[in-house]
């Protein structure tokens, strides 16, 4: 079997492959920068929410305890309902 490709195909393919790799690396760099930026923004936002929650608990301790008890009871009821539904299907 003979090689029927012209000698100029090799450099063209190599140039295209290099350009594709460069473009891919640029996309990855941009994606990594965007991810780091989003992670930083999320961390700042969560820090703000945490400090706001701490301040609320310090200002309203009884109301905070009642709210957390209500949320815990609702979560327990939801969990028990899900588990009970699974037991009925089994």
Residue 53 has a pLDDT of: 93
pLDDT one-digit tens code per residue, 55-84: 999 999 999 999 999 999 999 999 999 998
d(CA 30, CA 34): 6
* pLDDT tens digits for range 30-42: 888 889 999 999 9
Quick check: 49 and 42 in contact, CB under 8 A? no
12 CB neighbour count, 10 Å cutoff: 10
- SS3 label, residue 74: helix
Q: What is the model's pLDDT at position 74?
A: 98
Give me the residue spans of the domains in the chain: 15-59, 61-90
Task: Give the pLDDT confidence score for residue 26 in this predicted structure.
Answer: 87
């Amino acid at each position: 079997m003979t090689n029927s490709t012209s000698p100029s195909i090799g450099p063209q393919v190599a140039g295209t492959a290099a350009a594709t790799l460069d473009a891919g690396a640029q996309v990855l760099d941009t994606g990594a920068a965007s991810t780091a930026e989003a992670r930083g923004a999320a961390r700042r936002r969560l820090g703000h929410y945490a400090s706001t929650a701490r301040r609320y608990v310090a200002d309203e301790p009884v109301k905070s305890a009642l709210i957390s008890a209500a949320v815990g009871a609702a979560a327990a009821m939801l969990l028990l309902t899900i588990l009970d539904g699974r037991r009925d299907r089994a």
